[in-house]
């Protein structure tokens, strides 16, 4: 994706919390050169350190693509809002001359995937499920996957992705000055649609950061 300098991430202290709080994305595998299109799979995941953990049903076409090429990209986007053209003017500026846009955050994690199979490595997929459950529903008591769902574990495969490259974009009005960004925040707060509060918080965080 294209990242203008004003939208570049402040660093890991910005993009990592974003990814951890948006633990659902699209996993993209290009597969081999003979493929017409990449395989794209929407999926829940957990990021721990420099590793992404997830699982998919064994029949998922992702695994055929990975057998051809283990390189993948996990795309995560969220906290978006449409910014109307009239919102981007202040004072005596003509609202008709405003330029509409969309504010959003996006992070792409590229790396190499490893497939984990309970048939050949007993306990490997169960361990991934435990990681996900601990992260996604902490404090909730659940039956151990290996003990209670052994047969079902054979129907899924685990994936770990060693993250090697991170691209992060936070498009929250960095191309305009403070007064214009604060005017957008006021209008977001007035509208109060889904996601507006999160976007307003990002605008102010990056303005004041």
Identify the band that residue 152 occupies on the pLDDT scale cut at 50, 70 and 90: confident
Query: Which SS3 state, helix, strand or coil, does residue 108 take?
Result: strand
Task: State how many domains the chain has.
Answer: 1
Predicted local confidence at residue 145, as pLDDT: 74
19-41: average pLDDT:
97
Condensed to tens digits (0 to 9), the pLDDT of residues 108-117 reads 999 999 999 9
Within-domain flag for 145? yes
Tell me the C-alpha to C-alpha distance, in Å, between residue 150 and each of 35, 114, 123, 127. Answer: 35, 21, 10, 12
Within-domain flag for 182? no
Inter-residue contact 56 to 157 (CB < 8 Å): yes
User: How many CB atoms neighbour CB 103 within 10 A?
Assistant: 25
Within-domain flag for 137? yes
pTM: 0.93
Q: Helices marked H in the chain — which ranges?
A: 12-21, 62-68, 124-136, 145-148, 150-153, 178-191, 196-208
Predicted local confidence at residue 106, as pLDDT: 98
Within-domain flag for 161? yes
Within-domain flag for 10? yes
Separation of alpha carbons 182 and 170, rounded Å: 17
Query: Which SS3 state, helix, strand or coil, does residue 48 take?
Result: strand
Q: How many residues does the chain have?
A: 209
Of the candidates 69, 82, 9, the residue with the CA atom closest to the CA atom of residue 38? 69
Condensed to tens digits (0 to 9), the pLDDT of residues 72-101 reads 999 999 999 999 999 988 999 999 998 999
Predicted local confidence at residue 13, as pLDDT: 97
Looking up residue 58, the CATH number of its domain turns out to be 2.30.110.10
Within-domain flag for 183? no
Half-sphere exposure of 86 (CA within 13 A, CB side): 3
Within-domain flag for 207? no
Within-domain flag for 42? yes
Domain hosting 125: range is 5-80+94-174
């Amino acid at each position: 994706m294209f990242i203008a300098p004003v939208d570049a991430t402040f660093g890991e202290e910005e993009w990592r919390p974003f990814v951890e709080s948006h633990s659902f994305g699209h996993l993209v595998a290009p597969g081999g050169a003979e493929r017409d299109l990449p395989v794209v799979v929407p999926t829940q995941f957990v990021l721990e350190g420099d590793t992404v953990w997830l699982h998919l049903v064994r029949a998922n076409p992702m695994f055929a693509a990975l057998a051809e090429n283990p390189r993948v990209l996990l795309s995560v986007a969220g906290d978006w809002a449409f910014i109307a053209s009239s919102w981007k003017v202040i004072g005596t500026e003509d609202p008709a001359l405003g330029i509409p846009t969309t504010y959003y955050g996006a992070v792409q994690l590229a790396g190499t995937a490893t497939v984990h199979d309970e048939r050949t490595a007993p306990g490997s997929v169960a361990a991934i499920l435990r990681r996900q459950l601990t992260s996604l529903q902490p404090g909730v008591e659940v039956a151990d996957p290996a003990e209670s769902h052994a047969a079902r574990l054979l129907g899924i495969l685990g994936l770990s992705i060693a993250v090697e490259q991170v691209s992060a974009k936070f498009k929250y009005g960095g191309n305009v000055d403070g007064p214009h960004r604060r005017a957008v925040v006021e209008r977001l707060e007035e509208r109060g649609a889904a996601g507006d509060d999160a976007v307003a918080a990002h605008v102010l965080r990056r303005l004041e950061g």
